[in-house]
Amino acid sequence: MVQLRALPSWRGAICAAVVCVMVSAGPGRAGEEDGAASPPFTNSLGMRMMPIASGSFVRGSDEGTWDERPVHAVTISRPFYVSETEVTNAQYEQFRAEHRQVRGKLGFSVEDDEAVVFVTWHDAVAFCRWLSEREGRDYRLPTEAEWEYVCRAGTTTAYHTGDTLPEAYLRNPGDSWYPDGRTPHGVVSLRVGQTPPNAWGVCDMHGNVEEWCLDWYGPYEAGRQVDPVGRVAGDFRVTRGGSHSTRPEFLRASNRAGTLPADSSWLIGFRVVQGGPVETTPLPVPALPLYARDVRQDVPADLTSGPDPSRPYFDGPRVYVREPAAEDCPVFNRHNHCPALVNCPNGDLLAIWYTCYEEPGRELGIVASRLPYGAEEWQVASTFWDAPDRNDHAPALWVDEQGTLYHFNGLSAAATWGNLATVLRTSTDNGATWSAARLIMPEHGLHHMPVESVIRTREGAILVPCDAVTGGDGGTAVLISRDNGQTWADPGEGRPAPVFQAGATGAWIAGIHAGVVQLADGRLLALGRGDSIEERMPLSLSDNLGESWTYQASPFAPLSGGQRLALLRLREGPILCCSFSRHVPFRDAAGTAQVGAGLFAALSHDEGQSWEIKRLITDGGPARELDGGGNTGRFTLSATSAEPRGYLSICQAANGVIHLISSKQHYAFNLAWLNAP
């Protein structure tokens, strides 16, 4: 008998309608169209293949995350076989013997009977193709619907074991950093078949390793479906089942995850299905999010017009982080932080930032807002990029000389920013559509967390700063491409961590979250947070395009938690630094010396040899309280008080206006305003 939980009345009706079908399918026997039971069989690789009957079930969960809804009935119309366990090292290496060289990578999956890991979706598909040719039977990956059908095995609870998962299924549970899987007893074992099978005789459906599915990831649609196969295209292929080093809620039967098909890690393996080819038509690509709709593609005739450059101009602050309705942006959560900003060729401003409940969480995704050219108000936030159940830490935007937009992002193996790979996408239509995401630094680890300070050097190289560490000290590495983004290198990779002190030389920049500019003599100059030198913000210089750096103290106060500076070469020539200090000296309009606190602007007219703090970034109006969002919270804005903290991003428009965003606010001003008391 199948036991049902108390459910909402409408969902209970659906369950009642389909449970009889699930039960009538029996204990999962397949292979005969008339429903007669077929026995398991063992194939030429020693895989035990379990028969699964056709039937129906309810897919999704009202109690899970947004992408598990709407809950809907699914019919699996044809029987098939599924491997009793995940594919093992010994089985996979009969197809690809060289995989033995990565056994034990980071300590994982050493033995023959452990689940194979460090395999991409493409590797798994190639294995199925090879096995099909070897045996003369059709092998493939399970569809996402087939996977959940088998996992549930006739149940309707969160796990096939009920509403809780016994401890035996949990292997190093939690939000792991890097490297994952370290326990008091060593690296967690990935040996297959060590927990009880479900009612249909299939093992390891909850945990051990995630499993690649056939489908492109995308939102569900309502209504009964027959043999659904996901979307026609996308960035992410579905993975299911959760893994070791993961919190139990991500091991639920209805939970969905996914990543780029070229991604691989110590968390993902696969199992196979033997059955007919998938013939269902995929669902179309979802509708464009708000930031990508009705984007102007011509260049406005007055794009270079604007405020008189000889007269001070200031506008703001105005809020650019505007909360959407849940149905318009289901990934939007309470914590919004770490922005990136770009001025599009059509004059629009495009801002992206991450949104989450907590920064280490798997739910962290990237959202966007657009300020169309000539508009006074930013759009509400909409989804920009969100690898399901992966922490998508650290976005960066840049536009090249031909008007191509570049989006760089970290892609976690799971939760946290301790194990990022680096992703690149491009857009040639002002951010309305984007190329398929590709991994430019595919290994999950350090040096792969982009910082919003991308530049093109005079030599033609693209340089992307990336935090070298996961904490507040330790410096910033750089990724460099000398072929316009096709290939990338990290000059500091494998080199010892520097000692940040005046006069020393090291492999990467002093300070995390570094901003970088190129000087007139070709050297690179960088400023960063942490790694203070002589109790000042560290300044790093490189005369060999980031191969090595020398360190000295800057004139600025050091930054602390919740703060990130912005550094920009202005079109007029000076270098602009925007940062934070509790003690900001400046002169008011009467020439009187004043001291303020918070966000300030400093200019260098001599290529970084000296800097002058010009003023606080504030409208100078009466004292009032504003919301800084992110880690900033509420603060007082006045003539002597500006934002006390925030992560900054900056760009300059064709009309000379400088646009600066913090974690929630947008400021616009020109050079004349900076120079005016």
Which amino acid is it at 63? E
CB 558 within 8 A of CB 501: no
| pLDDT > 60? residue 16 | no
3-state SS class at 9: helix
Q: Which one of 524, 559, 594 terminates a domain? A: 559
208-235 tens-digit pLDDT: 999 999 999 999 999 999 999 999 999 9
DSSP state of 368: E
Burial, 156: exposed, middle or buried (Cβ in 10 Å; 0-12, 13-18, 19+)?
A: buried
CB 178 within 8 A of CB 420: no
What's the CA gap between 59 and 71, in Å, rounded?
6
For residue 285, being part of any structural domain is answered with no
| Residue 492: both structure tokens together | 């500091």
Specify whether 300 is located in the same domain as 410. Answer: yes
Strand 593-604 to 575-587 pairing: antiparallel
pLDDT band for position 100 (50/70/90)?
Answer: very high
CB 176 within 8 A of CB 87: no
Q: What is the 3-state secondary structure (H, E, C) of 233-288?
A: CCCCEEEECCCCCCCHHHHCCCCCEEECCCCCCCCEECCCEECCCCCCCCECCCCC
Quick one: pLDDT band at residue 425, thresholds 50, 70, 90?
Answer: very high
Q: Tell me, what DSSP letter sits at residue 303?
A: T
**Band of residue 128 on the pLDDT scale cut at 50, 70, 90:** very high
Residue of 567, 563, 584, 586 lying closest to 644 (CA atoms): 563
* pLDDT per position as a tens digit, 164-179: 999 999 999 988 887 7
CA atoms within 13 A on the CB side of 183: 14
pLDDT digits (tens, 9 = 90+) for 543-583: 999 999 999 999 999 999 999 999 999 999 999 999 999 99
* Separation of alpha carbons 385 and 398, rounded Å: 16
Same domain, 100 and 152: yes
Q: Which whole number is the average pLDDT over 394-406?
A: 97
Of the pLDDT bands very low, low, confident and very high (cuts 50, 70, 90), residue 523 is: very high
- The pLDDT confidence band at residue 118, using thresholds 50, 70 and 90, is very high
Percentage of the chain modeled with pLDDT above 70: 93
Res 586: pLDDT: 85
Q: Do residues 68 and 190 both lie within one domain?
A: yes
Q: What is the DSSP letter of 489?
A: B
- Residue 3 counted as domain residue: no
Stretch 91-109: mean pLDDT: 96
Nearest to 155 by CA among 332, 380, 2, 379: 2
Indicate the residue among 519, 539, 559 that finishes a domain. 559
For residues 190 and 219, the answer to whether their CB atoms sit within 8 Å is no
How much of the chain exceeds pLDDT 90, in percent? 89
Clarify whether residues 219 and 352 are in a common domain. no
Residues 143 and 179 in one domain: yes
Indicate whether 21 and 161 sit together in one domain: yes
* Residues 64 and 165 grouped into a single domain: yes
Q: What is the pLDDT of residues 140-196, one digit of tens each?
A: 999 999 999 999 999 999 999 999 999 999 999 988 887 766 665 568 999 999 999
* Contact by Cβ (8 Å): 142, 214: yes
Q: Residue 646's closest CA among 600, 613, 603, 614? A: 600
Q: Are 458 and 440 contained in the same domain?
A: no
pLDDT per position as a tens digit, 288-339: 999 999 999 999 999 999 999 999 999 999 999 999 998 889 999 999 999 9
Number of domains within the chain:
3
Per-residue pLDDT band at 428 (split at 50, 70, 90): very high
Collapsed DSSP state (helix, strand, coil) of residue 595: strand
Within a domain: residue 4? no
659 in Cβ contact with 340 (< 8 Å): no
Of 505, 524, 559, the position where a domain reaches its end is: 559
Report the run of H or E that residue 457 belongs to, with start and end.
Answer: none
**What is the pLDDT averaged over residues 471-490?**
96
Q: Which domain holds residue 546?
A: 451-559
**pLDDT, position 326:** 87
| pTM, to two decimals | 0.94
DSSP one-letter string for 491-553 = TTTTSPPP---TT-EESSBSSEEEEEEE-TTS-EEEEEESS-BTTB-EEEEESSTTS-EEEEE
- Domain-embedded: residue 322: yes
Closest to 144 measured CA to CA, from 38, 231, 251, 263 = 231
Tell me, yes or no, whether 279 lies in a domain: no
| Amino acid identity for residue 436 in this structure | A
Check pLDDT > 60 for residue 5: no
CATH number of the domain to which 69 belongs: 3.90.1580.10
3-class DSSP assignment, residue 128: helix
Question: Does residue 280 fall inside a structural domain?
Answer: no
Can you state the percent helix, strand and coil of the chain, rounding each to 5?
10, 35, 55
- Kindly state the average pLDDT of the residues 457-485: 96
User: β-strand 524-529 against 538-542: which pairing, if any?
Assistant: antiparallel
User: How high is the mean pLDDT of the chain?
Assistant: 92
Q: Does 2 map to a domain? A: no
Q: Is residue 671 part of a domain?
A: yes
Whether residue 23 has pLDDT greater than 60: no
Do 45 and 142 lie in one domain? The reply is yes
Residues 457 and 516: their CA atoms lie apart, in Å, by: 10
Same domain, 586 and 503: no
**Mean pLDDT calculated for residue range 116-126:** 98
Domain co-membership, 445 together with 456: no
* Residues 143, 267 share a domain: yes
